[in-house]
Amino acid sequence: MRNRFRMATRALAVAGAVLGLGGAPARAETFPAWPDDLFTLTLPDDLFVPTGEMRFEKATRVLAEASGGISGIGEELFQIAAFPFTDTATFATAALGLGALVLVDKPATAFVQDNIIKPVAPFDLPRPFPMIPFGTDGDQYALGFIAGNYAYGLAANDERAQVAAVLAAKALAYSYLTSHVVLKAMFGRNRPVSDLSGHKGPTGPFTTSPFDFFQGTGLHLNSVKAGTGMPSYHFTLFFSQARVYSAVYDNSWIPYLGAAALILSAAEGHNHWVSDMAAGALIGTAIGNMVVSNYEKRRTGQGAGMLMPVVSSNSAGLMYSLSF
């Protein structure tokens, strides 16, 4: 069961590739190494030993190493898109597992609505930046924490904080692209009504059937209610953030408690099936592991080429670095 869970996580992280993204298959060994326990991958402390660098010098280096540059981001997007073609057995296992969960989605989701979502409905965290009209509360919390973490890293010349913020920003972007933009449009699944156990009357843009797929209206950058159930973008987002901060700081309690608080605060308004939530959590965990693992490979010289910015007092440019 543990191996199947690990296999499912690897596959779900890149389910968007079923749309045909990524072109020709890549070799499986180009992908990051996935740990036996998805929640214990951590970065070694020797990656963050004091270097004596000045603040701006360190910030420039860290930004290049953590982001991977243009080539590193492109490589990770290719990894996400091509994965189902490089490990079809894992991808098939994940699809079968989610399919089985869809079969029991109605009673499972009704139970979650009645026993978890409704009791915690009064717990609603305030919008952190009410003056900003765009983004959900969850998006604003994630972005605000990343920005604050990076600002602290710059002010304190703290490499670990800067790395955590850059990796979390990448995980957020990949979560949005994979779950919100690509997979929601692909599955077009309608969300459940908020009272499955006793619903009567019209459903509006929602549904009482867990098999109400392919009702989407194309790609959407903003939030749309109809046909956008699977996977849960916010489960993807919060689990990817928790996985990154857990790996960088070697602490699982605080990141996952924070993720749980944000999930519970937003659960009532998002109307997701249990399988939507499970898919989002698995995708987010895998995305977080991918960006952390790739960063460690770059730092230890196992990465491929990297395009990085070079900035001095009187010039700016790009440098391509190739590790042998």
Q: Where is mean pLDDT largest: 8-12, 119-123, 161-165?
A: 161-165
CB 49 within 8 Å of CB 276 = no
Rounded Cα distance between 39 and 37, Å, is 5
Q: Per residue in 145-167, pLDDT tens?
A: 999 999 999 999 999 999 999 99
Rounded Cα distance between 14 and 243, Å, is 16
> Residue 297 pLDDT more than 50?
yes
CB 182 within 8 Å of CB 236 = no
Out of 90-99, 170-179, 257-266, which region has the weakest mean confidence (pLDDT)? 90-99
Helix residue spans in the chain (DSSP H): 2-12, 55-67, 69-86, 88-103, 105-112, 118-120, 137-156, 159-175, 184-187, 233-249, 253-270, 274-299
> How does residue 318 score in pLDDT terms, banded at 50, 70 and 90?
very low
User: How is 36-102 classified by DSSP, letter by letter?
Assistant: SSTT-----GGGG------HHHHHHHHHHHHH-HHHHHHHHHHHHHHHHHH-HHHHHHHHHHHHHHH
Q: Does an H or E element contain 318, and which?
A: strand 316-321
Average pLDDT over residues 87-115: 89
39 versus 220: the higher-pLDDT residue is 220
Q: Per residue in 41-64, pLDDT tens?
A: 899 999 998 888 999 999 999 999
- The mean of the pLDDT values for the chain is 82
Domain count, the chain: 1
> Residue 11 pLDDT more than 90?
no
**206 token code pair:** 């929602």
> Residue 28 pLDDT more than 80?
no
Rounded Cα distance between 39 and 246, Å, is 8
Q: Per residue in 182-214, pLDDT tens?
A: 999 999 999 999 899 988 888 889 999 999 999
> How does residue 218 score in pLDDT terms, banded at 50, 70 and 90?
confident
CB 38 within 8 Å of CB 267 = no
Out of 60-74, 125-139, 275-289, which region has the weakest mean confidence (pLDDT)? 125-139
Place of tokens 């009187």: 314
Taking the model in full, what pTM does it have? 0.81
Rounded Cα distance between 244 and 66, Å, is 12
267 versus 100: the higher-pLDDT residue is 100
Q: Where is mean pLDDT largest: 18-27, 56-65, 267-276?
A: 56-65
135 versus 233: the higher-pLDDT residue is 233
Q: Per residue in 68-98, pLDDT tens?
A: 988 889 999 998 888 778 768 767 887 889 9
Residue 303 domain boundaries = 2-321
> How does residue 288 score in pLDDT terms, banded at 50, 70 and 90?
very high
> Residue 285 pLDDT more than 80?
yes
Cis peptide before 231 (omega within 30 of 0): yes
Residue (of 226, 192, 188, 229) closest to 207 by Cα position:
192
Residue (of 199, 258, 262, 203) closest to 229 by Cα position:
203
DSSP 207: B
C-alpha torsion 61→64→67→73, nearest 10: -170
Rounded Cα distance between 291 and 236, Å, is 14
pLDDT at 159: 96
Out of 1-5, 15-19, 287-291, which region has the weakest mean confidence (pLDDT)? 15-19
